[in-house]
Copies of this chain bind each other. A is one copy, B any other.
Amino acid sequence: MVHAYIESNKQRFLDELFELLRLPSVSADSRHKADVRKTAERVMHRIKEAGADHVELVETKGHPIVFGQKVIDPAKPTVLVYGHYDVQPPDPLELWKSPAFEPTVRDGKIYARGACDDKGQFYMHIKAFEILMKHNLLNCNVKFMIEGEEEVGSDNLPTFVKQYREKLKADTILISDTALISLDQPSITVGLRGLSYVEVEVTSANRDLHSGVYGGAVANPINVLARMIASLHDENGRVTIPGFYDNVMELSAAEREALNKAPFDLNEYKEELGIAEVTGEKGYTTLERTGIRPTLDCNGIWGGYTGEGAKTVLPSKASAKISMRLVPNQTPDEITEMFRKHFISIAPKTVTVKVTPHHGGFAAVTPTTSKAYKAAEKAFEEVWGKTPIPTRDGGSIPIVALFKNELGLDTVLMGFGLDSDALHSPNESYGIKNFLIGIETIVAFYKHFGR
């Protein structure tokens, strides 16, 4: 019945998702403020239409949060669905094969910014809810909280969570914003890394200089920044910031062994990415490096002349965006402060350095023993015919820690994306099959959870 309904409504489901994907809800870019709001309004409309009692657009200091609920019986268990309707910036635009905000289907995949992260994924929940309502299958309460600032650090979510503490009361959080191992092997993410994101600026002279007249005598901020960035890792790929590893949760040999049992083919991985070699912290496997170890990456760098041809300038400034992925027990604010102190301490006297924190978030580990996890496991078994493997993802969803701390709730990360979906990259995609089977699996989750 559920499967048949999904099949016969497939085109409408996709059309509705495409409408959302056409809205460039880039939260990082203030020029898209109106688009972000318009997206929130469409999400609100869809939740209402699916059958929620009470739906509202909650204003924040930034972009609004969509809240909606269907309480069938206060005595019954409650699921709080979290998702985000904002997306990453689409650039570099020239690398998109079809426009970032014109969803295009190729080989069974929807190509668009936000297709997987997270419009395609949170929208599965609204459609699953529609099905439960239509077929009178809803056996627990459902609440939705779809925010618009996940990609810029969810700055206004903590305040909202505090204000709405009563309304947000639930028994579990359910989020689809992670990836499966593959369509052949379902998995549930049980660990997420945290994040500390900073921007640095190195200034030498008070103006751009002619590199011939001053080169060799006045510090070049690009060369200096390069040296500073280079020094942030040692020869074993470890981050050199003093204290960086102090609180890192080390896994037991057994835990590491279990983690490395997840299906993973290094050659396929390298081939798919077009790289000759992987890299990273010595003594750890690729799955460990991205799952349980903290890291430091430059996400952007710029300075001097970057246009066509040649300009012999000794620039005044050079900048970089640097993010650190954190693991359980590392505190984002502490790590950011460690970074700041260290980065300033390694600057030569020839330059001045500015460090601006962007945002951060705690790592999270979710239990595999909860009723909600068990319901998710059963849902996969029922729909996929396979038991999902618990995995640790390298990405960050800081709200998982926030929910635990503020609401005392554990989260189930029931994601249906794939690593090959190119999140945050040009040509982001989401499989139509993933979208449809995701809806079906979520419906099954409620069946088991509400029992």
Contacts and interface: CB of A to CB of B under 8 A. Distances in A.
Residue among A30, A92, A214, A294 with the most chain B CB within 10 A? A214
Given A223-B229, A358-B309, A295 B215 contact: yes
Contacts of A426: 207-208
Interface in A416-432: 419, 422-427
A438 to B, nearest CB: 18
Nearest to A231: B230
A190 interface: no
Contact of A213 (B222, B300, B313, B395): B395
A280 interface: yes
Contacts of A153: 310
A51 interface: no
A305 to B, nearest CB: 4
B275 A205 contact: yes
A197 B288 CA distance: 41
B427 A212 contact: no
A300 B290 contact: no
A80 interface: no
Contact of A220 (B92, B212, B223, B298): B298
A370 to B, nearest CB: 24
Interface string A100-137: 00000000000000000000000000000000000000
Contact of A299 (B95, B151, B213, B305): B305
Given A92-B208, A212-B195, A300 B286 contact: no
A248 interface: no
B215 A311 contact: no
A321 interface: yes
A27 B308 CA distance: 10
A29 interface: yes
A275 B350 contact: yes
Nearest to A205: B273
Contacts of A314: 297, 299
A216 B311 contact: no
A65 interface: no
A209 B425 CA distance: 6
A320 B289 CA distance: 28
Interface string A128-154: 000000000000000000000001110
A310 B321 contact: yes
A260 B173 CA distance: 73
Given A89-B311, A300-B305, A279 B425 contact: no
A219 interface: yes
Given A212-B325, A320-B222, A394-B214, A312 B422 contact: no
A306 interface: yes
Interface size band for A: 35 or more
Contact of A350 (B208, B231, B277): B277
A193 interface: yes
B207 A425 contact: yes
Nearest to A395: B212
A299 B304 contact: yes
B28 A216 contact: no
A302 B306 contact: yes
Contacts of A313: 88, 299-300, 424-425
Given A222-B320, A223-B233, 5 more contacts: A27-B309, A91-B307, A208-B426, A213-B395, A310-B323
25 contacts: A28-B308, A29-B309, A30-B308, A88-B313, A95-B207, A151-B311, A205-B273, A205-B275, A207-B425, A208-B426, A210-B424, A213-B394, A213-B419, A219-B279, A222-B297, A226-B229, A226-B301, A275-B350, A277-B349, A300-B311, A300-B313, A306-B319, A306-B321, A312-B424, A313-B424
Interface of A: 27-30, 88-89, 91-92, 95, 151-153, 179, 193, 195, 197, 199, 204-220, 222-223, 225-227, 229-233, 273-281, 286, 289-290, 293-315, 318-321, 323, 325, 348-351, 358-359, 393-396, 419, 422-427
